[in-house]
Amino acid sequence: MEIGSGWLSHVINFAMDKGPILKQIIHHPLFRFAVAYAIFDVVLAGIGMGVPFFCILAGFVIGWYLPSAPSTTKTRQGLRGSILLAVAAAMFTVFVMFVIWSPAIAQAMDPAFDYEGFGIPQILFDPVASYIGWMVLMIVVSPILQMLTMVFSASLREAFFTPAP
């Protein structure tokens, strides 16, 4: 079975020739959703120049459609599936933020590093504390906020609106 003629189709054809397990994974609807989300999340992180503000805002929109992703009819199972998908999305955002901010963490190990000239807001009393707070905010807190926005909008849709067929 041949799919298209581009470079991505060659990769997919190679993977499909390796066995039925990879074929099932590639043709699974959640795999396509995960790939689309990964591309979307990386683009939004790039638009925010490393600050995941747009990723957090997109959590409302993505969370709104999460109850229709798990194919369940019971509300409890739908919400459980939405929470699991939101956690998976947040873990991917943690990975993206770590990749973006890891060079800055490596630079901070240098004793001559200029914390004040790095360009982050100096909102705490010490530049080193502000820098550490900024890194924790970018890598840990922002993906948690993204997960919470996804869960909130998924719960809101389940509570007040009928799910889409």
pLDDT digits (tens, 9 = 90+) for 84-137: 888 999 999 999 999 998 888 888 888 888 877 777 778 778 888 888 888 898
Percent of the chain at pLDDT > 90 equals 28
Query: Could you tell me which residues come within 8 angstroms of residue 82 by beta carbon, excluding any fewer than 6 positions away?
Result: 63, 66, 67, 69, 70, 150, 151, 154, 155, 158
- What's the CA angle centered on 147, arms 128 and 90, to 5 degrees? 70
Q: Taking Cα atoms as reference points, which of 61, 10, 71 lies closest to residue 40?
A: 61
The residue that leads in pLDDT, 115 or 21, is: 115
* Listed range (29-38, 116-125, 135-144) with the worst mean pLDDT: 116-125
Q: What does the pLDDT average to over 126-152?
A: 90
E strands along 14-100, which residues? none
* Listed range (24-28, 72-76, 101-105, 119-123) with the worst mean pLDDT: 72-76
Check: pTM over 0.85? Answer yes or no: no
